[in-house]
Structure 1
Amino acid sequence: MILRIVGFAPWSYQFPANEPVALEYHPIFGWQSSAGSFQYSIPPNPSPIQVTVLPDRSRSTAPTAAVDSDTRPNIVMLGCSWMFGWAISDQDTLAWKLQETFPDWHVVNYGTGGYGTYQSLLRLEDSLPQLRPDVIVYGFYLHHEERNVASGRWLNALAQKSRRGLVSVPYVLFRGGRLERHGLTRYPCWPGRRYSAVIAALEKGWVTISASSRTRHAREATRQLFLEMKNLADQFHAKFLVVFFESYRNRSEDRRSYCDFADAHGIPYVDCGQTLDETLTVPGDGHPNAKANTRWFEAVEPAIRKLLAEKSDPKP
């Protein structure tokens, strides 16, 4: 009873009943977008949201798309639900707007709900040999740090918001001055947690303690992942661009540290520098809305255009 009074309760799942099952298991990435065409709405707005995911698990960036037969050079977009365009329709996403602006390139949107930097790197490693893009764009926001190291809080959130509670995630550690890659891990499932606040609290405490050593160096691990992305892009003669999506409210020093790191290592970036208030988010959901994606486009488009020009006319 005391645990319930202070906020602990038996385990329960949390997900919107009307939201489609948009993700599926993947043995390396943990999960990926489910292929298909989906429509749903988010109260209080009754308007349908159109989501189209192609067979290669990228989100559609044009009214018609033939992935296998497209011979145009590629621009690859990577990131989480913000890059994917969660809770907005296909045509409202940053990637769609870029496709309209760069018709001579095929914009491939591999943004995936819940991904961190490490999963985006794994996706990039998997797709680069086939796509060989001219430009790679990675969209970052600060919570990716926790995702990259599988913090206890992130594992708990994944389990609660999944329909089966069995979501696994790959993670990295920064130890001994180097990056260590690890396979899938997930939140445990202790017997009795759905009926006992005590068991649920003990389970959560155990996860928090066991994951604490991973989170200690989350920032340095994330920086090293930036470098691995850039090195991989260089290996395939592609330009690499990081997009810092928001100003992180009261964490401007955290954002600045990443910008300074990018400057120090020659990583091109766009600092969108905007805080997502209610005018820039989807009501009833909280993800960036079409207006936010338009603002990102206005910042990102010139940077991509510059990188494409550099690639077509490299300096001696």
Structure 2
Amino acid sequence: MAKGSNATRPTWARRLVSQLSDVLGKSPLANIIFDPVLGWRRAPGRARAAIGDSITWEWDIDPTGFRRLPNARPGKGQKKVWVFGCSFTEGQCLPIEQTYCYLLQDRFGGAEIQPYAIAGYSSFQNLLQLQANLMTSKPDVVVFGYFHFHLIRNVAHPILWKNRHSHPAFGRLQKVGSRSTEIFRPAAFINEFGKLNFRKVNMPLSEQEYEGMMAYAPDRFTRHQISCRVFEEARALTEAAGAKFVVAVLRSGDSIEAKEVDKTPPMETMFVKQLLERGFDVVDADPNKPFEDISFYPTDIHPNSSANKHFAAVIGEKLDTMLN
């Protein structure tokens, strides 16, 4: 059996990869455009999206390329909370009013919640965006939303590119024929000087490219080491700016199968334990329930409104103490 084949993965992983491949091949991601540092972002404006006949929503993207919170009223002297993440934080499949960032903004009317999240992003892309933000502004709290798929995204693991050519965020942009201007993912690595660095990995991969790269794909230990460095640099930048840093675990790994409830507790999964050992402030926002209860399963694996209410409640309790 070929190394890295779908049959060698755990059942939950095969199901997740299958759903992601199916859903991501059909669902629009609201005007994805090329970004020379992050790989991709969204074009400003309004767009509609749908998955099948049952899930529809709208995007309102601000001039910086991120989803706009319509209830945010920035004011002088307000405390700022920057929330970084991927589609879980952006609110894939949900109207903006049901996303946890919107619910947090409602809860903290005297603060400004600013989401910096785009579908498919890694924690490393979040770090790059944080670096850019800090050049012109300062937050009071930085929240990094963590989803266990970030561990393979951070290193641009080849499994991410297989059979993704039909998806607008993982293939060539429309009317772009040159490989140099394809969407890419920043792949983090630790260089010979012990510094965190990155290279640009173009996509999609051919079958031959995929099989060749799988032989050199970073193993779990390497993925964890690199990801820990990503979080360490994000925390250091945040604290140097005089702000507080917290990791919010939205989905921790070993994800629960539908109708099953046996799962490693979120705070006991390997990577989260490594963060705790390094002294990170980590809040467990994982609902820790079967997919069918907290997502649009079986149509889509993204968190539903119930899960987002849970995220908002748990993260909100943490922000109560951090903002005060």
Structure 2 distance, partners of 1:264, 1:247, is 16
- Name which one, 1 or 2, has greater alpha-carbon Rg: 1
Shift in alpha-carbon separation, 1:255–1:81, aligned structure 2, 3 A? farther
Equivalent residue, structure 1, for 2:296: 282
Q: How many residues were matched structurally? A: 286
Separation (CA, whole Å) in 2 of partners of 1:140 and 1:52: 24
Match of 2:281 among 268, 271, 285: 268
Which one of the candidate residues 152, 167, 170 is aligned to 2:186? 170
Distance 2:204 2:60 in 1: 33
In structure 2, the gaps of 5 or more residues are 1-5, 8-20, 173-181, 256-262
Mapped partners of 1:23, 1:14: distance in 2: 16
Identity of aligned residues (%): 20
C-alpha distance in 1 between matches for 2:164 and 2:193: 29
Distance in 2, matches of 1:132 and 1:105, equals 14
Does residue 293 of structure 1 match 2:301?
no
* Partner SS state of residue 108, structure 1: strand
User: Normalised by the size of structure 2, how large is the TM-score?
Assistant: 0.78
Give the alignment's Cα RMSD to 1 decimal. Answer: 2.9
Q: Which residue matches 2:317?
A: 302
Structure 1 spans left out of the alignment, 5+ residues: 1-5, 190-199, 310-316
Contact 2:155 2:218 in 1 (8 A): no
Cα displacement string for residues 78-131 of structure 1 (whole angstroms, at most 9, x for unaligned residues): 011101111111111111001011111111111111111110000000012323
Which residue in the other structure is 2:137 paired with?
Answer: 131
Q: Flag the 1:216–1:158 CA change in 2: closer, same or farther, 3 A.
A: farther
Looking at structure 2, the residues matched to 257 and 14 of structure 1 have their Cα atoms a distance apart, in angstroms, of 28
Q: What residue is the counterpart of 1:243 in the other structure?
A: 248
Residue 112 of structure 1 is matched in structure 2 by 118
SS in 1 for 2:300: coil
Give the counterpart letter for 2:78 in structure 1.
R
Pick closer, same or farther for the CA change 1:122–1:78 going to 2, 3 Å. same
- Quote the Cα distance in structure 2 between the aligned partners of 1:244 and 1:301: 13
TM-score (norm 1): 0.80
Which residue pairs with 2:61 in the alignment?
A: 53
How far, CA to CA, are the matches of 1:187 and 1:179 in structure 2? 25
Q: Secondary structure at the match of 2:152?
A: helix
Contact 2:266–2:284 at 8 Å: present in 1 too? no
1:17 is displaced (CA, Å) by 5.0
Where in structure 1 do 4 or more consecutive aligned residues deviate above 6 Å?
none
1:216-245 CA-partner distances (Å, limit 9, x unpaired): 601110011111011001110011110111
CA distance in 2, matches of 1:258, 1:77: 20
TM-fit CA distance, 1:20: 5.0
Give the aligned partner of residue 199 of structure 2: 183
1:1-316 equivalences in 2 (<5 Å) = 15-16=24-25, 19=28, 21-45=30-54, 48-63=56-71, 72-156=78-162, 159-162=165-168, 164-165=171-172, 166-174=182-190, 178-187=194-203, 200-209=206-215, 211-213=216-218, 217-248=222-253, 249=255, 250=263, 252=265, 255-273=268-286, 274-283=288-297, 284-309=299-324
